[in-house]
Amino acid sequence: MHGTLVKSRSATPHVHSIDLLRGIAALFVCVFHLSARGAFVQNPQLGAFMSWGGHDGVCLFFIVSGFVIPFALFNGNFAWHAFPRFMARRILRLEPPYIVAIAIAAALWWRFQFSAHGSNGLSLDLAPGTGALHFALHFVYLIDIARFFGAAVEWWVPHYWTLAYELQYYVCVALLFSLVASGVASVRIGAVALLLAAKYALLAAHAPLFLNYAEYFAFGIVLFQRRVGLSTLRECAILSLLLIGCMAIDSWRFAIYGPLVIGVLIIRDINWAPARMLGLISYSLYLTHVTFGMWFRSALLAKFDLDVQSAAALAIIASIAFATLFYWLIERPSLTLSKRISYARRTADDDATGRLRQTTRVSAWTMTNASAS
């Protein structure tokens, strides 16, 4: 049997299952925080499941990013000389909502002296006088790097450390894209092996780098390679088993169900309206649920005679509603503007060359699979 042919780069397909996975990941993290890591849930089994949600949601986000970024680069005919345009597009897409979310956190601190520290151990330190450097480090996602070198700085919204890891991955995968999307199997496998080797080589240093989660990002890369037809089913399976083994070292529970569910969903490409909606607002929900959601939960408990479980449930609903509003007012305009930046300026000659290169790749891939069948 032949595998899926390499998709045409000009088609720019959308994988609908990614919306579902993004929505699930954001909801996992939201429930994890607003249920105080499951402590507010009376059912022990449900509480235990919610206590895993933070870790599993973050790992799911990293796998999705591992897939989505090279997939977008592939369909955008990315080349290394377009790196500044790629970064400009990502920054324009992500930075304005991030800055507004920080402003909301600051407003809640200065107006209500709200801190999530007392409810589930998170710290929201937005006190005035932290200095311009502290602000600047937030805007360039270098808080953990600065702390690693001894600076006394903290994330104002603690789970934003994941955004720093995401940005590091964007830079890395763009610079290594020619290896990740190579038509040569040994080069592709070498790129995945390079990420894993870097992770374990730097493990003892405890450096705050995305390589700490290299196996999750790499799994997304492997799924991308299979999705666009760069890799064979055998190559995908072997690399997936290797990466799942690495995941099991970190979390055997996630390694059992996570990669299987993600792989099936991406292959099946489920297009479900509620999933599209939740996926649409997933970034906004991720940015705002700790600040707005926890403040809303605290306000409910202070003003009404509610149990913590009911307050948490209402806070989750309110957070989704607020994230929807945030998306339409803040995130969507940024998304629209970012789409005006293409990964490369293309001429008619470039398109003709790209089509010829794509045809050659399809033919070579088909012949390889025919001989392997």
Distance between CA atoms of residues 114 and 298, nearest Å? 9
Check residue 141 and give left, alpha or beta (phi > 0: left; psi -120 to 50: alpha): left
Using a 10 angstrom Cβ sphere, with 0-12 exposed, 13-18 middle and 19 or more buried, the burial of residue 237 is middle
Provide the residue ranges of all domains of the chain, joining segments of one domain with +: 9-372
Of the candidates 55, 8, 62, the residue with the CA atom closest to the CA atom of residue 29? 55
One digit per residue, pLDDT tens: the chain, 373 residues? 333 444 545 444 788 889 999 999 999 999 998 888 766 666 666 666 777 788 899 999 999 999 999 999 999 889 889 999 999 999 999 999 999 998 888 888 777 766 544 443 334 444 444 557 777 888 899 999 999 999 888 888 889 999 999 999 999 999 999 999 999 999 999 999 999 999 999 987 889 999 999 999 999 999 999 999 999 999 999 999 999 999 999 889 899 999 988 888 887 777 777 778 889 999 999 999 999 998 999 899 889 988 888 899 999 999 999 999 999 999 999 999 999 988 765 544 444 444 444 444 444 444 544 444 4
Total-model pTM: 0.86
